[in-house]
Amino acid sequence: MMRWLLPHPALSAMLLVVWLLMANAVTVGGVVLGAVVGVVLPKFTEPFWPDRPRVRFGRALAGYVCIVLYDIVVANFQVARLILFRRNRDLRSRWLTIPIALTTPEAVTVLAGTISLTPGTVSADISADGRHLLVHALDVADPDAEVARIKARYEARLLRVFA
């Protein structure tokens, strides 16, 4: 019964939270309407998700979120320092090709989104075979070290989350 009503429970919970954040208030009506949206939308889109990814909610996901939030804060200060104290011609911007071991489209999307959320880097494209991600970095001294850092810091954790 519960699987029929909530085909994607995490999506339903996220929709409820986003609904309440957009409403900017927690009221009984807002919670009820958010719950209705959280039940109806996943039910309506269920046919488009035949193979749901397996996501481990818990320590692996919490650790990943903490690392990403920390990196976003630190990168903001690093980019601000670059902009304020470096000349444009001194920046070492590079295109990086990152080979990825992630196999599900959802995991690759989370990795690309994480890279784009972190100031100073942006995901630009994914190869046709889905095995490489093209990333532009604002200032990179050693491209190979930056690729290794992204793989170790984000991809390795995502492999545990989407196991």
**Mean pLDDT (whole number) for 109-132:** 92
Give which of 155, 163, 140 is closest to 64, Cα–Cα.
155
Give which of 96, 158, 162, 159 is closest to 133, Cα–Cα.
96
CB 59 within 8 A of CB 41: no
Domain 59-161, CATH: 3.30.70
Domain ranges of the chain: 2-48, 59-161
How far apart (Å, rounded) are the C-alpha atoms in residues 36 and 6?
Answer: 11
Most confident residue range from 22-26, 33-37, 75-79, 90-94: 75-79
CB 75 within 8 A of CB 120: yes
Q: Which pLDDT score is estimated for 35? A: 86
Q: How many CB atoms lie within 10 A of CB 61?
A: 17
User: pLDDT: is 25 or 113 the higher one?
Assistant: 113
pLDDT band at 126 (very low <50, low <70, confident <90, very high): very high
Q: Which pLDDT score is estimated for 3? A: 60
pLDDT band at 161 (very low <50, low <70, confident <90, very high): very high
100 burial (CB, 10 Å; 0-12 / 13-18 / 19+) is buried
Instruction: Strand 121-126: give its sheet, edge to edge.
Output: 94-99, 132-137, 121-126
Check whether 15 has a pLDDT greater than 90.
Answer: no
Q: Which pLDDT score is estimated for 20? A: 87
pLDDT in tens, 59-118: 998 999 999 999 999 999 999 998 898 887 888 999 999 999 998 888 999 999 999 999
Q: Which pLDDT score is estimated for 133? A: 95
CB 23 within 8 A of CB 32: no
Q: Which pLDDT score is estimated for 121? A: 92
DSSP per-residue codes, 82-100: HHHHS-GGG---EEEEEE-
Check whether 1 has a pLDDT greater than 60.
Answer: no
